[in-house]
Amino acid sequence: MATYPTRQDIPPWVKIPEDLRDPEVFQVQTLLLKYLFGPQGSRIPHIEQVSQAMFELKTLESSELTEVLVYGSDDHKLRAKWMLQSMAERCRLRQEREMLRLEEAMKTLELGQCWNEASFQPM
């Protein structure tokens, strides 16, 4: 007997039961998903509608990762998976760039402090 998502609001573009049989499954960092899907998943319905797929999220035991199950036709599942992974990668790269900028700013501040301290020392 097949198990289907427990979700009650299956979107109209998902054909039951054929689209619910074999979901695409992948893992994404939980913090990235919160950023992508908005507070309390407020953007999920829009992303589902655009991708013509349905998402189910399962937080894994290590709270750093969330398992994403994508339901729909094969084409829609693959497109939705690609879209989410691309968005997550873009967010991750943006965070990396921001960290590098922060490190550079901290180095500049440290150099500035050393320069200011050296310039005010008595001769």
Tens of pLDDT along the chain (123 residues) come to: 344 455 677 888 888 788 888 888 988 888 888 888 888 888 888 888 888 999 988 888 877 888 889 999 989 998 998 988 888 888 889 889 999 998 988 888 876 665 555 555 555
Strand partners, 57: 68
Residue 98: per-residue pLDDT:
92
pTM, whole model, 2 decimals? Answer: 0.69
Domains and their CATH numbers in the chain: 18-119 (3.30.1370.10)
Residue in the block written with tokens 């007997």: 1
Of 123, 121, 11, 122, give the one whose Cα is nearest residue 56. Answer: 11
Query: What span, in angstroms and rounded, lies between the C-alpha atoms of 115 and 108?
Result: 10
- b/e per residue 84-93 (b: at least 16 CB within 10 A): beebbeebee
Count of other CB atoms within 10 angstroms of residue 96: 10
